Structure 1
Amino acid sequence: MRQPRLLVARRLFGDLLEPLRAHYRLDVHDSDVPLSPAALTARLQGCWGLLASGTERVDAQLLAACPDLRAVSLVTVGFNNLDLPACQARGLLLSNAPGVLTEATADFGLALLLAAARRVGEGERFVRAGQWQGWAIDQFAGAPVAGTTLGVVGLGRIGAAIARRAHHGFGMRIVYSQRRASPEAVALQAQHLPQTDLLRLADHVVVMVPYGPDTHHLIGAAELALMKPSATLVNLARGGVVDDVALASALQSGRLAAAGLDVFEGEPAVHPHLLACPNAVLTPHIASSTLPTRRAMVQLAVDNLLAWAEGRPGPSPI
């Protein structure tokens, strides 16, 4: 029986892809530049499966143009690039890569919080520019972190891992908001609050909710106005959960002290108003970027495809 075709839509780790060749004919787009929607559609002609990142959009239009597509395996946790109703109507096999990036992302979340609150980015740029003339009593005075209140919007796997680090390592009080109480809350002595109360109370806020229509601009101008002027906002979720234009305005006006962002609306483009904010620490979607973690993400996506080739359920279905 002829092997089914599989499109690998991004440059990944070639050694991890090799086991797939026993079951699939691979078409590898060995580039960090994503395929355009038209190019993706063209490359998927005759393909049974797609191994993708969170960039490639799989929606009703693409599915109508790619009648042979039966499976999509993502190397990412987020799957807002999938039109789930359309995929489910087709009966596609779907998987993502949860769990394997939790600890690396949580480490980075705390690093981003500390960098923003303690003005690390501003200080580093100041030194590199040759502007430092010596110690001053209030130079780059930032906000305290230890013993303050951390608000976590979305206490899922990663949100809880950040909260554990903050609570046990920095003695922070944890408050959180989401639709239902989290089973992690008891061990963290975390208080479940409505989002409006969380924003008013917290000294620092980390956003860790999935992106979708219900969470688009979950943090916008009205929500930012509730926060303390001394507060820090960190977004590790997805671009679009936070209204970047409203955030830039709050940062520029002094309505908010600092922000740390690893994700952006329309990335890799970053809104120029955010780029103009010295009190924003901006990183290029690297929260999960340790080599072991990124390899584990690809391995889990490969494992799903290997399982499907053998007629078994994959380890991480959506």
Structure 2
Amino acid sequence: MEKQHIYITRKIPNELLQPYQEQFHFSMWEKESEPVPREVLLEKVEHVAGILCLLTDQIDEEVFNKAKHLQLVANMAVGYDNIDVEAAKARQVVVTNTPDVLTETTADLTFALLMATARRIVEANEFIKKDEWKDWSPFLLAGSDIHHQTIGIVGMGRIGEAVARRAKGFGMNILYYNRSRKMEAEQELDATYVSFEKLLTEADFVVCLTPLTSDTHQIFNKQAFEKMKQSAIFINASRGMTMDEQALYEALKAGEIKAAGLDVFATEPIRASHPLLELDNVVCLPHIGSASVATRENMIKLCLENLSSYFKGHGAKTPVE
């Protein structure tokens, strides 16, 4: 069988590629911490049959027009809003993602972000580092309880359900809003399906885990934040464009909501001058939801398994719809 050419848009460990060396010719961008420049990407994909890319790589009409021999794009993420799926379909290019392998890890991070924001963990750490801890007082860095509070999960997919399981362990009341009801999740987790508006008005913690679509683009806007409790905490571990960052900033600044924990932003990476970083009641992370060593390796392995299975004639393992 003729070896297919695969381009990888970021440096990954050679030991992960080794099992596939007899099947593929690999080339890759040799920097781990810098994205491949657009002009390099367009040049490198011209003769490849497959691309293994990251969510930061825009695989759009221009790329597909250059990649005349392209058959499969393996995206190292669950979400695939960085890929023009319609353009791929028009050219019969298969697009795959990495579901399941990152579910529990991302849920861990989401709940850790919720806890850190609620209990002001980062702020407390900085308090000591700045040598400001001079005494103890009854309300020193007092935060919000998590146990037995109401969590509202927007987007009850695999990760949403995993976060709900963690919330159940804290005795939380679980509300969720999703494009369709999840009866099994309701029975297993004692979760209650509600409208988006009811979730906003009743939840103590509003957690965004929805995919980015035309329907969810800036679903968290000025009106949404106005509906939340003044004591509510907003957590976003999905995609940055699901929220209006300016509206969030204004809601936090005005005290319309209590705090926010964010792992995602509209434009990434953000700089230290980003307005949200001015606020003490915001915890910001650099999009590390799935960032454990084991999970990131499993994501890469699934991308490679998709490529291998497809080119062996067995079909991709996890094609997107």
TM category, shorter = over 0.9
Q: Which residue of 1 aligns with 2:290?
A: 288
Give yes or no for contact 1:13–1:295 (8 Å, CA) kept in 2: no
Q: Tell me the distance in 2 between the aligned counterparts of 1:296 and 1:62.
A: 26
Whether 2:176 is the aligned partner of 1:161: answer: no
Q: Tell me the distance in 2 between the aligned counterparts of 1:12 and 1:241.
A: 29
- Deviation for aligned residue 1:199: 0.4
Q: Tell me the distance in 1 between the aligned counterparts of 2:248 and 2:20.
A: 44
Which amino acid letter does the alignment assign opposite residue 101 of structure 1?
L
Q: Tell me the distance in 1 between the aligned counterparts of 2:242 and 2:214.
A: 9
Q: Which residue of 2 aligns with 1:24?
A: 24
Which amino acid letter does the alignment assign opposite residue 295 of structure 1?
E
- Deviation for aligned residue 1:314: 2.2
- Deviation for aligned residue 1:122: 1.1
Q: Which residue of 2 aligns with 1:131?
A: 132
- Deviation for aligned residue 1:4: 2.0
- Deviation for aligned residue 1:2: 4.4
- Deviation for aligned residue 1:257: 0.7
Whether 2:174 is the aligned partner of 1:191: answer: no
SS of aligned partner of 1:104: helix
- Deviation for aligned residue 1:3: 2.1
CA-to-aligned-CA distance 1:251-289 (integer Å, 9 cap, x gap): 111111111111111111257211111111111111111
SS of aligned partner of 1:214: coil
Q: Which residue of 2 aligns with 1:11?
A: 11
Whether 2:87 is the aligned partner of 1:86: answer: yes
SS of aligned partner of 2:200: helix
Which amino acid letter does the alignment assign opposite residue 280 of structure 1?
V
Counterparts in 2 of 1:148-297, with a 5 A limit?
Answer: 148-167=149-168, 169-182=169-182, 183-270=184-271, 272-297=274-299
Q: Which residue of 1 aligns with 2:310?
A: 308
Which amino acid letter does the alignment assign opposite residue 210 of structure 2?
V
Q: Tell me the distance in 2 between the aligned counterparts of 1:280 and 1:82.
A: 30
* Percent of residue pairs identical: 35
Structure 2 length normalisation: TM-score? 0.96
SS of aligned partner of 2:99: coil
Structure 1 length normalisation: TM-score? 0.97
Runs of 4 or more off by more than 3 Å in structure 1?
Answer: none
Give yes or no for contact 1:13–1:298 (8 Å, CA) kept in 2: no
Which amino acid letter does the alignment assign opposite residue 174 of structure 2?
I
Q: Tell me the distance in 1 between the aligned counterparts of 2:300 and 2:50.
A: 15
Give yes or no for contact 1:204–1:231 (8 Å, CA) kept in 2: yes
Q: Tell me the distance in 2 between the aligned counterparts of 1:245 and 1:277.
A: 13
- Deviation for aligned residue 1:187: 1.2
CA-to-aligned-CA distance 1:106-130 (integer Å, 9 cap, x gap): 1111110011011111111111111
Which amino acid letter does the alignment assign opposite residue 173 of structure 2?
R
Deviates more, 1:29-38 or 1:235-244: 29-38
Q: Tell me the distance in 1 between the aligned counterparts of 2:161 and 2:116.
A: 20
CA-to-aligned-CA distance 1:16-47 (integer Å, 9 cap, x gap): 11222211111111212112332211111111
CA-to-aligned-CA distance 1:128-147 (integer Å, 9 cap, x gap): 11111121111111111100
- Deviation for aligned residue 1:191: 1.0
User: Aligned pair count?
Assistant: 317
Q: Tell me the distance in 1 between the aligned counterparts of 2:151 and 2:240.
A: 21
Give yes or no for contact 2:119–2:144 (8 Å, CA) kept in 1: yes
Q: Tell me the distance in 2 between the aligned counterparts of 1:101 and 1:116.
A: 22
Q: Which residue of 1 aligns with 2:121?
A: 120
How well do the aligned residues superpose, as a CA RMSD in angstroms? 1.2
Where do 5+ consecutive residues of structure 2 fail to align? none
- Deviation for aligned residue 1:214: 1.7
Where do 5+ consecutive residues of structure 1 fail to align? none
